[in-house]
Amino acid sequence: MKTTAFLTIGVFFYLNVTAIAATEEVISQNNEYGGLTKQIVYSEGDSDFKKGMGKIIASYDKEGSKKKMEIYATDSHAKEKGWYKKVIYYWGRKKVSEAYSTDSDSAKYGFHQMVSYFDKDNKLEKREYYLNKNTTAAQLGVYKRVVHYDSKGKISYVEDLDRRGNLVLIE
């Protein structure tokens, strides 16, 4: 009788742990950086899922250093925070982060992608906003707005650029 009870509890525990565990698999042995790419998919009971992460794809170089990380938000997190995907690139001591807007946030704020550049101390250097085609600025030739920050984190200047990187002056 005790054996049956322990076996039942053991099976119940195993099924519950399996249901809330993240699954991790290597999806590439030789990625664009010469190393592994791993995919981690979170389930509803996982703490990272509760933080809004549905899936992560992490790419490493041949030495095992992280080079790129793609984070896919859960549907509820995307709706709440306004982004469905982030991609972070690790370039030496600098970092670049891309955020892709949900359709509702894109319509509300007028841009569909935001790229942030950070220095070696993780301070924001500049941020690029890629405008939606239907915004007034885009119809006047602006492809992206670039906001530059000083060492104190304050906006130092703003540029509006066309697709070729030429300055667009709107008067």
**Strand 53-61 to strand 66-73: parallel, antiparallel, or no bridges (unpaired)?**
antiparallel
pLDDT at 91: 86
Residue corresponding to tokens 């950086």: 33
Q: What is the pLDDT of residue 20?
A: 56
pLDDT digits (tens, 9 = 90+) for 49-61: 999 999 999 999 9
Which pLDDT tens digit goes with each residue over 41-91?
999 989 999 999 999 999 999 999 999 999 999 999 999 999 999 999 998
Q: What is the dihedral of CA 74, 144, 57, 122, to 10 degrees?
A: -100
Domain 22-161 has CATH 3.90.930: yes
- pTM for this prediction: 0.82
Instruction: Say if residues 144 and 159 touch (Cβ distance below 8 Å).
Output: no
Alpha-carbon distance 71 to 97, whole Å? 11
The per-residue pLDDT for 42 is: 96
Written as six digits, the tokens of 101 are 């807007």
Q: Across the strands, what pairs with 113?
A: 100, 130
Distance set, CA 71 to CA 34, 58, 150, 159 (Å): 21, 9, 28, 29
Domain boundaries, given as residue ranges, for the chain: 22-161
Nearest partner of 37 among 68, 13, 7, judged by Cα: 68
* Burial environment of residue 87 by CB neighbours within 10 A (0 to 12, 13 to 18, 19 or more): middle
Please return the burial class of 43, using the count of CB atoms within 10 Å of its CB with bins 0-12, 13-18 and 19+.
Answer: middle
Q: How far apart are CA 103 and CA 92, in angstroms?
A: 33
Per-residue confidence (pLDDT) for residue 21, from 0 to 100: 72
Residues of the chain with pLDDT under 70: 1-20
